[in-house]
Amino acid sequence: MGLKRDVSLSTALRYKGQGPFLTFILHRIGGLGMAIFITVHILATFVEKQGWAIGDFINDIYMSPPFQIFILFCVLFHAINGLRITILDLFPTRLIQYHRQAIAIEWVIFIILFSFAAVSAVTTAIGRL
């Protein structure tokens, strides 16, 4: 028998789980974003090989800076958060007590790497104009 919870949607959306909950949600968003990107990319490649114009339209979306920054965010956050989870899972007895500090370190690393990568993506896009 499943766990019964009487929590309304509005109550669930007001939940303030802070760092651990935010990393949980962003990890899922990153994984979903990458899965959707890969699926649409495969379909666009197939459609473009058929000679349909929609393939060129989808590839133009891929080349847009907002889309590139979103995919960059998804891949980078998913990878760094996955490394944090893996490290904490390898040594749970010693490291689980430091999970909030690990999240803070993860955010610092992510912000530094994402900043450099986003600036590079934007300057490359500006150079194409």
Burial letters for 29-64: b for 16+ Cβ neighbours within 10 Å, e otherwise?
ebbebeeebeeeeeebeebbeeeeeebeebeeeeee
* pLDDT tens figures, 33-82: 999 999 888 888 888 888 888 888 888 888 888 888 999 999 999 999 99
* pLDDT tens figures, 70-122: 999 999 999 999 999 999 999 888 888 888 899 999 999 999 999 999 999 88
Q: What angle do CA 115, 17, 36 make, to 5 degrees?
A: 55
24 residue type, one letter: F
The correct answer on CATH 3.10.450 for the domain covering 19-128 is no
